[in-house]
Amino acid sequence: MIVFTDVAKGFGEKPVLRGVSLTVRAGTVHFVLGESGAGKSVLVKQVVGLVRPDAGSIVLDGQELVGLDERGFRAVRERCQLIFQAATLFDGLTLLENVAMPLRRRFGLSHVEARARARAALERVHAVEQGERLPAEVGSGVKKRVAVARALALAPRVLLYDEPTTSLDPVAARRTDRLIRDTADGLGITSVVVSHDLVSVRTGDRVTFLHEGRVRFDGTPHELFGSDDAVVRRFVAAGHAG
């Protein structure tokens, strides 16, 4: 479980988050929506210490994260994996090697052991047949799946996705949605998904909509699409569907 309480963050003179409170329940897929500049990515990056809040509390499974030093966040990052909007794969390594390399570094596995675990992770995301190819030889959708496999191989308890369907064609985007859902259901992993894609949102358990740095809506996808809040209705009606 992740609990954000009155989290505030600004950059220079510009406030981005203005007292955000929300709860992400364990094992769920929780979407964070909002227009550009609403603070979605800033909020999520605070969980792994890439951005530090100016005020408020962030508690992960009972542990307060605000105030941790870099050593403390290294331990947090072993439990929480952030999957960036870009797949951030190494161009000179095969897809299999991209997944295997972090396993060797973190767990001290042999080359053979790391490749075996990497292959199993790629199989889980339906990309094992692409394992010996280089990133430049596959499409964006496959790269996103490999990024998920790399994170899953490290056995996290939480996955944080930053705009996972951005730049994907509709088929690849929906495949990514199913992968996020299946990962949560099959492995019990808590998933926080920063998105603007209203089609994706329908696959989630809960949605938080940020507007001008505050929580404007928090509820189920069904409640989001049925909301009578004028700001929420305008966002939905504008067709922010990627």
pLDDT digits (tens, 9 = 90+) for 126-152: 999 999 999 999 998 999 999 999 999
Rounded mean pLDDT of 24-52? Answer: 94
Collect all residues with Cβ–Cβ distance below 8 Å to 156 and sequence separation of at least 6. Answer: 78, 79, 80, 81, 189
Q: Tell me the C-alpha to C-alpha distance, in Å, between residue 95 and each of 59, 88, 159, 180, 190.
A: 34, 11, 20, 19, 25
Distance of CA 7 to the CA centre of its chain: 19
- Helix count and strand count (H, E) for the chain: 9, 10
pTM score: 0.92
How many Cβ atoms from other residues are within 10 Å of residue 139's Cβ? 11
- CA 56 to CA 39: how far, in whole Å? 15
- The pLDDT > 90 percentage for the chain reads 85
Structure token pair of residue 238:
């504008």
Cα-trace Rg, the chain:
18
Contact 204, 31 (CB under 8 A): yes
pLDDT given for residue 240 in this prediction: 52
Question: Residue 241: is its pLDDT beyond 80?
Answer: no
- The pLDDT > 70 percentage for the chain reads 98
User: What number of CA atoms fall less than 13 Å from residue 114's CA on the CB side?
Assistant: 18
3-state SS class at 84: coil
Strand partners, 32: 194, 208
How many Cβ atoms from other residues are within 10 Å of residue 71's Cβ? 7
CATH for 2-237? 3.40.50.300
Q: Give the strand pairing for 29-34 and 206-211.
A: parallel
- DSSP character for 177? H
Helix (H) or strand (E) holding 234: helix 230-237
Question: Residue 242: is its pLDDT beyond 50?
Answer: no
Question: Residue 169: is its pLDDT beyond 50?
Answer: yes
Q: In which band, very low, low, confident or very high, does the pLDDT at 160 lie, cut at 50, 70 and 90?
A: very high
Virtual CA dihedral for 84, 154, 172, 30, nearest 10 degrees? -70
Rounded mean pLDDT of 222-238? Answer: 94
- CA 15 to CA 132: how far, in whole Å? 46
